[in-house]
Amino acid sequence: MEFTTRPRPQAEGPHVIADVLYAGICGSDLHQYRGGSGPRRPPLILGHEAVVSVEGRDGMFVVFPLVCCGECDACVRGEENLCERRGLIGLDRPGVFADSVMVAEAALVAVPDGMDPRVAVLTEPLAASVSALRIAGMTASTRLAVIGCGPIGLMAVHAAAHAGAHPIVADPLASRREIALRLGAQEALSDPTQLSSQGADIVVDAAGIEAAWGAAVAAVRSGGCVVVLGLAQAEGTVPVGALVRRGITLRGHYAYTRADFEAALRLLAASPPPLDWLDFAGLADGAESFRRIVHSPEKVTKVILTTDRAARGNRAATERSEVVHPRAGGEEAGHRSAPSRTTVSAQ
């Protein structure tokens, strides 16, 4: 990772230049940092969770980061998260770990008046859980278990509690189990194998590793549903015999629809979670924040990067600072290299 200064982007077509205020680091942003494979190709400005402002417009906006064609079969079905030609800010185009970012006009979702932007920046991770729980059919009477209490798992707990369901969670880190209890979990276990056998109607695997989805299959009732939201492990074995003999539905879930995203924002406005489990850091500390998340997960659960504009409300900047995943040679595709203010490299 490196922190550098580049020219401010210029709007193209039906796009605007948005000034970033707050930007959350997602677990998917960490994949390449950890040295794993994936669709992100450096050099790339990462980040897809953001609250922004736009010069000349009142208020703040949350960025809907999915880019969908609106024409394929999935989009026509209302499943734009499964668009055959989908893109994602911070994955195949410059992301929000910058002072400013180019986004489509339609990507701007207004933050309700009076809402704390530090809460609004949680819209994207909450939307994934809102979407998954909606499709799984969760109600207030659902017996729900959540495996993994990273940000996605914790937001699943918050969404469930808001709907009247109080899940049992499992996570090896005591600090994260404590946060889950504060967000509405009824019980927190240190190991998913401690979950009651066949005791849950729905199990959300927010970790995405073989041990987690295997434990989820063991914990769900016959005829129940296991939803895999995490993607820490791309391949692995599944107990297909149990799925067949016990009639279990195992489904993967990617992202959210626009309706899910807007519902998540409304939920946060109506029922904001506490913020003391979030770490806030300046954009210049982005590389160090990545390091802390990876190497000190017991101390850091979620980091929100803040720009100078978030503190001073100044929209007049003519240059932007970026956290970039670089490649050898130091240039970002499509951009002229510029002198770095501060550089932190991850080899």
Residue 193 has pLDDT above 90, yes or no: yes
**Bond into 43 cis (ω within 30):** yes
Check residue 132 and give its pLDDT: 96
Whether 133 and 248 share a structural domain: yes
Of 166 and 337, which is predicted with more confidence? 166
Q: Which domain holds residue 200?
A: 129-252
- Beta-bridge partners for 342: 3
Q: Report how far residue 59's alpha carbon sits from residue 110's, in angstroms, rounded to the nearest whole number.
A: 7
Confidence of residue 7 (pLDDT cuts 50, 70, 90): confident
Nearest-10 crossing angle of helices 123-136, 151-162: 60
Whether 117 and 148 share a structural domain: no
Q: Looking at 221, 252, 283, which one is the last position of a domain?
A: 252
The lowest-confidence range among 118-132, 209-223, 332-346 is 332-346
Whether 245 and 280 share a structural domain: no
- Count Cβ atoms below 10 Å from residue 315 Cβ, excluding itself: 12
Give the residue from 111, 135, 100, 73 showing the smallest Cα distance to 18.
100
Of 20 and 333, which is predicted with more confidence? 20
Whether 101 and 77 share a structural domain: yes
The pLDDT > 70 percentage for the chain reads: 88
Q: Which amino acid is at 109?
A: V
The answer to whether position 340 is within a domain reads no
The answer to whether position 262 is within a domain reads no
Confidence of residue 215 (pLDDT cuts 50, 70, 90): very high
In the predicted model, what is the mean pLDDT of the chain?
A: 88
The lowest-confidence range among 41-45, 109-113, 152-156, 270-274 is 41-45
Of 301 and 312, which is predicted with more confidence? 301
- Count Cβ atoms below 10 Å from residue 104 Cβ, excluding itself: 14
Check residue 312 and give its pLDDT: 67
Check residue 324 and give its pLDDT: 65
Assign residue 194 the CATH number of its domain: 3.40.50.720
Check residue 5 and give its pLDDT: 86
Of 309 and 83, which is predicted with more confidence? 83
Whether 193 and 221 share a structural domain: yes
Whether 112 and 147 share a structural domain: no
Check residue 335 and give its pLDDT: 36
The answer to whether position 261 is within a domain reads no
* pLDDT tens track for 40-86: 777 889 999 999 999 999 999 999 999 999 999 999 999 999 999 99
Check residue 319 and give its pLDDT: 45
* pLDDT tens track for 317-346: 334 556 666 543 343 333 333 322 221 222
The lowest-confidence range among 17-26, 41-50, 98-107, 288-297 is 41-50
Whether 215 and 282 share a structural domain: no
Whether 101 and 192 share a structural domain: no
The answer to whether position 175 is within a domain reads yes
- Is residue 245 within 8 A of residue 271, CB to CB? The reply is no
The answer to whether position 54 is within a domain reads yes
Residue 292 has pLDDT above 90, yes or no: yes
* pLDDT tens track for 238-258: 999 999 999 999 999 999 999
The answer to whether position 264 is within a domain reads no
The answer to whether position 284 is within a domain reads yes
Whether 155 and 231 share a structural domain: yes
Whether 111 and 87 share a structural domain: yes
Whether 20 and 113 share a structural domain: yes
For the chain, what is the domain count?
Answer: 2
For the full predicted model, state whether its pTM sits above 0.75. Answer: yes
The answer to whether position 22 is within a domain reads yes
Whether 229 and 192 share a structural domain: yes
Assign residue 33 the CATH number of its domain: 3.90.180.10
